[in-house]
Structure 1
Amino acid sequence: MSYAEATLSMDLQSWIRVHNHAYAYFGGTTQIIVPDNLKASVTKHTSQELILNPTYREMAEHYNTVVMPARVRAPKDKSSVEGSVSTVSTWIIAALRNTQCFSIDELNEAIEQKLADFNQRAFTRKQGNRLSAFETEEKFALSPLPATPYKLSVWRTAKVHPDYHVSVESMFYSVPYEYINRQVDIRLSETLVEVYFNHMRVASHKRLYGKFGQLSTMRDHMPDNHKLFVDQTPEAAIEWANSIGSCTLKVIEYILDTAQIEKQALQSIFSLKKSERKYTKYEIERACKMVISITQRPTVKSIQTLLKKNKKNDAEQTLKQNTEMTENNYGFTRGASYYGGKDK
């Protein structure tokens, strides 16, 4: 039994769509597909190596079938197909040569009608027709169709940018920052964008459409310092200040209440939060307490200045105390008079 369909081109999208329609027409999948060596199916075919188009290979895996392209310049590998093509050309293409169609759908409706006539045409040398022979002799050998037809996907390669995103059709999708400057494979489907590194999926995003330059960023893909910045919200700032002390809380609440732009206030608070890398909570709370006692308009810059000053004063005080202790340790040293000399 034959299947025929008209397409505007033999690109990959048309190639995959026709396969889906053919399998639906037959009501099952075959164990083997024997296509020609067109670029939509075969990337490289030599006596030593066979490389299928990644999308076509993926489609074959979806239908649980094996692709075995005919050898180059070996038409006998698919002789039955060559014979059917000749017959179909006579019964369908030639029969519709004078038919005027104004869309591809209209043409395929006419082909579908002629195709049904072709498959139901009686044999000349035996009883039945192609359809009845298929149902009684061949259909049992087909594997059942999967629950859903294969959805077209396209494979591409890209390099991960320093901002841990890859560019796909002017849209940007994040990957784990460990893969910066690495070459990755990208699988594009109608609704999904998947990123693979060494055949392992490292990221998956819902595909973006519309205005160019949109970003899809996942928090787990960010470095730690980026997570800290993104997590800045007024609630998070107040929670952090409350964990430091009451004076710090007053300062943070004042900054949030008086700032004209919330984002600028959060940036200032974020810079103060980073002070925890150098100073203890006690030192931050002490600096905030000192600022409140000095002015009614505390700023992050004034707190940072006090932190540095207090750190320096504490270091000088500690040095002074250590010096005094060192001098006191030598208070019982014998003078010159002990050895018969004169003390000066």
Structure 2
Amino acid sequence: MKAWLDADVTVATVAQRLRDDHSVAASESSVRRWIATYFADEVARARVTVPRGPVDPGSEAQIDYGRLGMWFDPVSAKRVAVWAFVMVLACSRHLFVRPVIRMDQTTWCACHVAAFEFFGGVPARLVCDNLKTGVDKPDLYDPQINRTYAELATHYGTLIDPARAFKPKDKPRVERPMRYVRDSFWRGREFASLAQMQSDGVRWSTEVAGARHCRALDGAQPLRVFEAVEQDALIRLPHRGFELSTWSIGTVGVDAHLKVAKALYSVPWRLIGQRLHARSAGDVVQIFSGDQVVATHVRRPSGRSTDFNHYPPEKVAFAMKTPAWCRRTAELVGPSCEAVIAEFMADNAIHHLRSAQGVLGLRDKHGCERLEVACARAIAVGDPSYRTIKGILAAGTEHAGEPPQRGAAAAAGAFLRGPEQFGTDTGSIA
């Protein structure tokens, strides 16, 4: 029995184990009385609470959500649950209430920003619950703070100090007023919209909750104590507003793209298969490998955002040589080359794209000057095709006096007699 109590086994579980494992037919209340009689010291020791003493002005705020009730939302035409975001300054007991119908990352951070603006400053330490919007991985000694929440704390110069899991007494100054908020602010009132509800929450925090006589303050009003001793002790608000960001994590696919929300963004191909973090803020998406930014894109609602520099050059050579690229490159070679490419692009540019790429690819072997002369030669003979230009360069006849044969690359002979030499009458073949 003592081992169970030392392991913090509840009385209900003790009674259940006695019935199941030891055939002791004892009710929970009987077990509770027996423990109180025979383990009086242990029971008394467990009930001991050490007072924290006074809290320095501006040093701490305690934060939590509390359920208010159900409300008919005229926007969605449905009944929705309403929760109260509550931040209480531990020294003055002055509090801020903001009703919400969502408890996502955006709402969590927006409520903090609204609370800081309401108080006109920032407390040095934030004691919050272990919600996923605040703490990714609870731990007594090294909690892993949500990255967006950590950015907010860094921006405002405050410290996040999560309470221990399942220990509501770690933040009693926000836990105890929840019933008061629900009874005084919520019950028996009607609200036409969420905006009205939130504006009424600000007014109620100042005019009602701020003017109450608080027993913990020897009957003083929280608002008066706040104005007298705590307001000037808060950290000043930064000049620049907080830009809300959203973090996500995903695996890079074989196409070197990472999915963020409903869009896909390219990253360097060497990161294929790795899990990367993405930060979305405003119109920009940044992708991180560890603490290093490996890609930056303009934010998109859907579709793909691809930077071809993220691929090996040989993989994107064809995709990079678009019709626009062909026109720009031909301008650098010369007017004759530009005229040849313009003729390719004039009608169904996509079907003639490979020919245009082939002509411009001849620069690598023969140089721009020879290619320009060969293009002029091909235009002169009336056959500015890839095969003709390649044949001119291969034969080295771009500067020759006589015009080359059309399709000069072909060395085989040809039937050169005109069509009049051929007829359908087999009896009069020449």
Alignment of 1:265-276 (within 5 A): 265=352, 267-276=354-363
Gaps of 5+ in 1: 243-248, 312-344
Mapped to 1, the partners of 2:129 and 2:259 lie a distance apart of: 34
Measure how far apart 1:273 and its partner are: 1.9
- 1:7 deviates by 0.8
Identify the residue that residue 209 of structure 2 maps to in structure 1: 118
Match runs of 1:216-235 below 5 Å: 216-218=305-307, 221=310, 224=313, 226=316, 229-230=321-322, 232-233=324-325, 235=327
Which structure dedicates a bigger proportion of its chain to strand?
Answer: 2
Q: Is the 8 A contact 1:256 1:262 kept in 2?
A: no
Superposed CA deviations along residues 7-64 of structure 1, whole A, max 9, x for unmatched, are 1132222211111111111111111100011222112113454112222122211211
Greater shift, 128-137 or 161-170, is seen at: 161-170
For residue 264 of structure 2, what is the aligned residue in structure 1?
172
The one of 334, 342, 363 equivalent to 1:256 is 342
Deviation at 1:268, TM superposition (A): 2.7
Instruction: Specify the code of the residue in structure 1 equivalent to 2:286.
Output: E
Corresponding position of 1:104:
194
- 1:24 maps to 117
Structure 2: gaps spanning 5 or more residues:
1-93, 398-430
DSSP 3-state at the match of 2:132: coil
Aligned residue identity for 1:110: D
Please give the alpha-carbon distance, in whole angstroms, between the structure 2 residues aligned to 1:272 and 1:179.
Answer: 35
The CA RMSD over aligned residues, in Å, is 3.2
CA distance in structure 2 between the aligned counterparts of 1:59 and 1:53, rounded to whole angstroms: 10
Counterpart amino acid of residue 260 in structure 1? D
Residue 390 of structure 2, aligned match among 304, 327, 334:
304
Q: CA deviation at 1:195?
A: 1.1
State whether structure 2 residue 93 is matched by structure 1 residue 3. no
Cα distance, 1:183–1:281 mapped onto 2, change above 3 Å = same
Aligned-partner SS, 2:228: helix
- Residue 236 of structure 2 corresponds to residue 144 of structure 1: yes
Deviates more, 1:60-69 or 1:159-168: 159-168
* Cα deviations by residue, 1:83-104 (Å, 9 ceiling, x for unpaired): 3334434432xxx312122322
Equivalent-residue separation in structure 1 for 2:358 and 2:254 (angstroms): 23
Count of residues in correspondence between the two structures: 298
Pairwise CA distance, 1:123: 4.9
Work out the percentage of aligned pairs sharing the same amino acid: 27
- What amino acid is the match of 1:186? A
CA distance in 2, matches of 1:69, 1:9: 21
SS in structure 2 of the partner of residue 22 of structure 1: helix
1:231 offset after TM fit, Å?
8.4
Instruction: Decide which moves more: 46-55 or 276-285.
Output: 276-285
Q: Which has the higher contact order (CA 8 A, sep 6+)?
A: 1
* Residues in 2 aligned to 1:237 and 1:149: alpha-carbon distance in whole angstroms: 46
Q: TM-score, normalised by structure 1?
A: 0.74
More divergent stretch after superposition (227-236 vs 66-75): 227-236
Once the two structures are superposed, the pairs formed by residues 1-344 of structure 1 within 5 Å of their partners are 1-47=94-140, 49-92=142-185, 96-116=186-206, 117-123=208-214, 126=218, 128-209=220-301, 212-213=302-303, 215-218=304-307, 221=310, 224=313, 226=316, 229-230=321-322, 232-233=324-325, 235-242=327-334, 249-257=335-343, 259-265=346-352, 267-281=354-368, 284=371, 287-288=374-375, 291-292=378-379, 295-307=381-393
Alignment-mate amino acid for residue 232 of structure 2: F
> Tell me, what secondary structure is at the counterpart of 2:95?
coil
| Residues 1:150 and 1:292: Cα distance change in structure 2 (over 3 Å) | closer
Change (3 A) 1:162 1:63: same
8 Å CA contact retained: 2:333, 2:368: no
Displacement of 1:179: 3.8
CA distance in 1, matches of 2:222, 2:364: 80
Shift of residue 170, structure 1, vs aligned partner? 3.2
When normalised by structure 2's length, the TM-score is 0.60
One-letter amino acid of the counterpart of residue 249, structure 2:
T
Contact 1:237 1:269 in 2 (8 A): no
| 8 Å CA contact 1:232, 1:266 repeated in 2 | no
> Counterpart of 2:305 in structure 1: which amino acid?
S
Specify whether residues 238 and 72 from structure 1 end up closer, same or farther in structure 2 by C-alpha distance, changes over 3 A only. Answer: closer
Structure 1: distance between partners of 2:191 and 2:218 = 36
Supply the distance in 1 between the matched residues of 2:176 and 2:297 (Cα, whole angstroms).
46
CA distance in 2: counterparts of 1:252 and 1:162, whole angstroms: 38
What do the CA deviations read for 1:214-269 (whole angstroms, capped 9, x no partner)? Answer: x4345755655648525844652332322xxxxxx425404414631345555532
The question of whether the paired residues in 2 share the 8 Å contact of 1:252 and 1:269 is answered with no
Q: Quick one: distance in 1 between partners of 2:358 and 2:241?
A: 53
Deviation at 1:298, TM superposition (A): 1.6
Counterpart AA for 1:155:
W
